Amino acid sequence: MTPMFEFAWPWILLSLPLPWLAKRFLAPLPQASRGALRVPDIADFSTLGALSRVPRPAQRRYWLSLLAWCLLVVAAANPKWLGEPMAVAHNGRDLMLAVDLSESMSTQDFILNGESVDRLTAIKSVARDFIKRRAGDRIGLLLFGERAYLNVPLTYDSTTVLRLLDETTIGLAGPSTAIGDAIGLAVKRLREQNTKHKVLILMTDGANTAGQIDPLRAAELAAGVGLKIYTIGIGADEMLVKQLFGAIRVNPSTDLDEPTMRGIAKATGGLYFRARDISALENIYGELDKLEPVESGAQFFRPATPLFPWPLGLALLCAAVETWRLVARPA
């Protein structure tokens, strides 16, 4: 397919003869009803056959008005230039990220660029590249703590998802962890979608301590609508905690309910991953790329360049020229 020119609404071109039809079939206004301010239009002038008897300024106004009208109609028809067809990766996959914002996510047991960072910061740094690679997927962002809420509905706009993920803060949804409610909300948002591939990536560092729905019961509901859940347990196995007389090693992930995370993944046909550090988290997202690969489809689109500003600008220029002539005409 070669580049081509087309009108978005070609039927508007049928209005081109309206001025002639108005002059031909509408009776002129009575002289007494005419206002003091008159705008020149095509009805003010004689027919084409009588143009030779019309003064030269009137002929110029006639043709200028006719040109302006034609340009306005062409602009209203929305002309555009269609470029070369471009392939678009599309696979019809709906992918929802569910991120835990409970208070425990503030634990600084991850090392990023040589510095200790909290778990949410680690998730943001690694999820950023994963989201950028999801060409053709619709991505949504679900946040949960004591409550679960949808922060970004399913969209192809990965830039918006990244920006709103960066703006999330710990404790935004409450101090506790409502894993079951998060899954239930994902089921509610995804069950009516017609796509074959529905995926939820649930990231948490704790156990279900809030909400109305049991996580395993929510997983059964997810399996019923074809939603596959991949769960990621966040947190290191040990970290140094400074005290008055030195430091001791503690396990910061004692609250992580791994049996439930495995049960959720198994019930929906997904997998459970354990992220103990940045490297493990990166490897997990790499594995998810393999499990949920980006499939290139055979769909194409043609980039369209709107051209209506050109005829519209010329029509305004014609009007400006005629207005200037009327204003500049000596009394």
Contact between 185 and 148 (Cβ < 8 Å): yes
Q: Looking at per-residue confidence, does 3 or 44 come out higher?
A: 3
Percentage of residues in the chain having pLDDT higher than 70: 81
Q: Are 267 and 172 in contact (CB under 8 A)?
A: no
Confidence of residue 93 (pLDDT cuts 50, 70, 90): confident
Q: Please give the Cα distance from 19 to 66 (Å, whole number).
A: 9
Q: Which of 16, 7, 5 is nearest to 78 (CA)?
A: 7
Each domain of the chain, given as residue ranges in start order, spans 1-11+40-85+302-331, 92-291
pLDDT tens-digit series, residues 108-153: 888 888 888 999 999 998 888 888 887 778 899 999 999 999 999 9
Residue 41 has a pLDDT of 52
**What per-residue confidence (pLDDT) applies to 218?**
94
What local confidence, expressed as pLDDT, does residue 272 receive?
92
Fold of 92-291: Rossmann fold (3.40.50)
What is the percent of the chain with per-residue pLDDT over 90, rounded to a whole number?
Answer: 36
Q: What separation in angstroms does the CA of 180 have from each of 169, 177, 262, 313, 320?
A: 21, 9, 14, 58, 66
pLDDT, position 250: 73
CB 109 within 8 A of CB 240: no
- Read off the pLDDT band of 330 (50, 70, 90): low
pTM of the entire structure?
Answer: 0.62
Q: In what order do the strands lie in the sheet with 197-204?
A: 148-155, 138-144, 93-100, 197-204, 227-234, 272-275
| Average pLDDT of the segment spanning 203-209 | 89
**Considering Cα of 269, then 274, then 278, then 280, what sign does the dihedral take?**
negative
Lowest mean pLDDT among 71-80, 155-164, 291-300: 291-300
DSSP H helices, the chain, are: 18-25, 56-76, 119-132, 158-166, 179-190, 215-224, 258-268, 278-291, 309-328
Highest mean pLDDT (candidates 53-57, 60-64, 158-162, 323-327): 158-162
Q: What was the pLDDT predicted at 217?
A: 95
Residue 241 confidence class, pLDDT cut points 50, 70, 90 = low
- What pLDDT score does 240 carry? 66
- Pick from 201, 203, 232, 199: which is nearest to 91 by CA? 199
* pLDDT level of residue 45 (50, 70, 90 thresholds): very low
CA-based torsion, 165, 215, 289, 108: positive or negative: positive
Whether residue 207 has pLDDT greater than 80: yes
| pLDDT value at residue 10 | 92
- Whether the per-residue pLDDT at 72 is higher than 80: the answer is yes
Residue 84 banded pLDDT, cuts 50, 70, 90: confident
Mean pLDDT of the chain: 82
Confidence at 51, pLDDT banded by 50, 70, 90: very low
Task: Give yes or no for residue 219 having a pLDDT over 60.
Answer: yes
Backbone angles phi, psi at 61, to 5 degrees: -65, -35
**Would you state the pLDDT for residue 54?**
52
For residue 215, report the phi and psi dihedrals to the nearest 5 degrees: -55, -40
